[in-house]
Amino acid sequence: MARTVTGIDIGSRTNKFVRGHAKGNTFVVSQFAVLPHGAGSILEAWSAGAPPFKVGESRVGLTGRDVNIRYTRVPRVPDWQLRKLMRFEVEEVGGSSGAAVASDFNLLPALPEIEDEDVVLLALARESLLEEHMAGLRSIGGAVDAFSPCALALYNAWTHYGVVEDETVLLANIGHENLDVILVRGPDLLFARNLSGGSKLFDDAIAERFGVSAQKAEQIKIELATLEPGARYRDANQEKASRAAVAAGGQLLSLLQSTVMFCKSQVKVSNLRVDKVLLCGGGAALAGLPKYLSSGLGVPVELFDPFRVVDSSALDAEDAEKLEEFKLESVVALGLATMASDAAAYSIEILPAAVRKKREFVGGTIWAIAAAVLAAGFLGWTAWTTQQALGAATSEVAKLDARLRRDRDTDRRTREMIKANAELAADVSSLQALSGSGEQVARALAQLESDLPDGFWIESLDSEWKANDQLRLSRENVRPVVHLAGRAREGTESIAALLEGYVTKLRTRFPTAEFIYAPSPQGDRFTLDMTLFAPPKPPESTAAATTDNQEATK
């Protein structure tokens, strides 16, 4: 069974959390959350808070300037040699950038245009970026599974939940500041890329045209702007906003066209022709965008909705409605969770150097060392035990005979002691009952003689060993309880006050005793249960915690 993982996509406007596991040809979403924010950095974005569920082990998406996806054509060599080649490539990039980088690589599917060579996809990210994400993940109680480029999460969402046919498709996830793009041919990945430029292009264009803040420009974009070719504008403001958006749309169109050209040059697929374009991400919701891009690219452009085949039945109604509202923005988070939970998924797993070394040590080196130690220890132990076995067996027979005789004698004496102890325990219990009951009754009588108000008399007084929850006497801890029944003489004034005074004196005389005092509805009679043998009261903090637990259980 696939493991349950949370896919986390930290964006410039919203943080998306999709938790669940891959199951056959679908994905079972067990938890979903979207946290809007207006953060200016990754750390600020994480500070938007934790989702209302435990995120647990998580796959976090990477995009932006601090992530670099490269392609290298290499001869078909053994895995160990390929790892060595990629290590040289990473060292060269890290040395030129002057910053510590983490990386991982994977082979692209074999391309018929390239013979006797493989194309390696190498993803690199600055260690500082990973550290910021790890700090944010720890702050919400999560544990990192790995980091993966958002573009590859988009690829997994497509291959698992898209309608894959024998055609070349460009998929683009339009975020606020970044654009993640992949090119696929059938089920095979040709190219993945992350670019700077998303829906912020439209916000900036509108903000400049209207002379308003970025926040106001975003509102205008959502409410007024449209890229629908030949659209009829309802007023001058809509026309103004839409014409500003068209200029930004041209920039987005150029980014998509450049991706196709860059793929041809990087992967050396000169005859590449795109058959269809699919869009997702929050920026894809801009009115008229698919038709605008379709007219510019000359191919059909549609919105990509992988959640049509995703099982979201485990979500409550509110979360299911929210998932429907934010499904375009949550495609990458779905792909990240799929990549982590499906062992057969195409994956890139970037980890900080310290974390990777620790996992490699725990996953491989430490087991090799342990195996060697165990093997040496086993051989030494076998040699020693074989040498000692013969002598030990000879002396053991004689020891067992002597031990059997001693054990039989010990068993006989033990049984006799158990019988005697049982008889003594019964005697002790009887004596304790007699002594405890007698002392308690005597002290109760002395108190009655000195403190019982005039005009009252006792109708009955008895002592009994019993359990009572109100006196903190459990069934396993029965103790003697004195029971009094009394009444007041007719015509006695201030009966209730006299009774309260009597009980107060009783509590003063016996501060460690437990009482149950019950006056009759008419106030002329009363009963009193009292024991001097209740267990000590628990400390206040323990009692409060017990009460809280009982209330929570209710």
Instruction: Tell which wins on pLDDT, 267 or 35.
Output: 35
Give every CB contact of residue 414 below 8 A, 6+ residues apart in sequence: none
pLDDT at 550: 53
For the cut 80, the answer to whether the pLDDT of residue 346 exceeds it is yes
First to last CA, the chain: 36
365: confidence class by pLDDT, cuts 50, 70, 90: low
For the cut 80, the answer to whether the pLDDT of residue 546 exceeds it is no
Q: How many CB atoms are closer than 10 A to CB 335? A: 34
What are the angstrom distances between the C-alpha of 535 and each of 244, 441, 471, 474, 545? 81, 19, 9, 10, 19
Half-sphere exposure of 66 (CA within 13 A, CB side): 20
Residues 388/390/395/401 CA torsion (nearest 10 deg): 130
What are the angstrom distances between the C-alpha of 67 and each of 33, 73, 125, 149, 494? 25, 20, 4, 8, 87
Q: What is the pLDDT of residues 219-244, one digit of tens each?
A: 999 999 999 998 899 999 999 999 99
* Mean predicted confidence (pLDDT) in 325-344: 95
pLDDT at 276: 96
pLDDT at 525: 85
Query: For strand 5-10 and strand 14-23, is the pairing parallel, antiparallel, or unpaired?
Result: antiparallel
* Mean predicted confidence (pLDDT) in 337-346: 93
Percent of the chain with pLDDT over 70: 93
For the cut 70, the answer to whether the pLDDT of residue 386 exceeds it is yes
* Mean predicted confidence (pLDDT) in 302-321: 95
For the cut 80, the answer to whether the pLDDT of residue 6 exceeds it is yes
Spell out the domains of the chain, with CATH numbers in brackets. Answer: 1-150+310-351 (3.30.420), 163-303 (3.30.420.40), 436-553 (3.30.1360.100)
* Chain centre distance of CA 82: 36
Q: Angle CA(281)–CA(266)–CA(284) in degrees, nearest 5?
A: 10
pLDDT at 98: 67
Please check whether residue 216 is in contact with residue 177, taking contact to mean a CB–CB distance below 8 angstroms. no
Whole-angstrom Cα distance, residue 82 to residue 107?
A: 10
For the cut 60, the answer to whether the pLDDT of residue 544 exceeds it is no
* Mean predicted confidence (pLDDT) in 40-64: 91
Q: What are the φ/ψ torsions at residue 456 (nearest 5 degrees)? A: -115, 150
Give every CB contact of residue 129 below 8 A, 6+ residues apart in sequence: 42, 62, 64, 66, 67
* Mean predicted confidence (pLDDT) in 347-357: 87
Stated length of the chain: 554
pLDDT at 347: 93
Q: Which helix (H) or strand (E) holds 467?
A: none
pLDDT at 548: 55
pLDDT at 367: 57
For the cut 50, the answer to whether the pLDDT of residue 414 exceeds it is yes
For the cut 80, the answer to whether the pLDDT of residue 538 exceeds it is no
For the cut 80, the answer to whether the pLDDT of residue 542 exceeds it is no
366: confidence class by pLDDT, cuts 50, 70, 90: low
Q: What is the pLDDT of residues 460-509, one digit of tens each?
A: 998 888 888 888 888 888 889 999 898 888 777 888 888 888 888 888 88
Q: List b or e across 17-42, with b for residues whose CB sees 16 or more CB atoms inside 10 angstroms.
A: bbbbbbeeebbbbbbbbbbebebeeb
Whole-angstrom Cα distance, residue 52 to residue 59?
A: 18
Residues 117/123/254/230 CA torsion (nearest 10 deg): 110
Residues 76/80/86/92 CA torsion (nearest 10 deg): -130
SS3 letters across 311-376: ECCCCCHHHHHHHHHCCCCCHHHHHHHHHHHCCCCCCCCECCHHHHHHHHHHHHHHHHHHHHHHHH
For the cut 60, the answer to whether the pLDDT of residue 376 exceeds it is yes
Q: What is the pTM of this model?
A: 0.66
Smallest CA-to-CA distance from 179 within 245, 268, 258 is with 258
pLDDT at 91: 85
Whole-angstrom Cα distance, residue 367 to residue 47?
A: 39
User: Which range, of 60-74, 373-387, 460-474, 495-509, averages the lowest pLDDT?
Assistant: 373-387
* Mean predicted confidence (pLDDT) in 50-71: 93
Mean pLDDT of the chain: 87
For the cut 80, the answer to whether the pLDDT of residue 434 exceeds it is no
Q: What is the pLDDT of residues 417-430, one digit of tens each?
A: 888 888 887 677 66
pLDDT at 553: 45
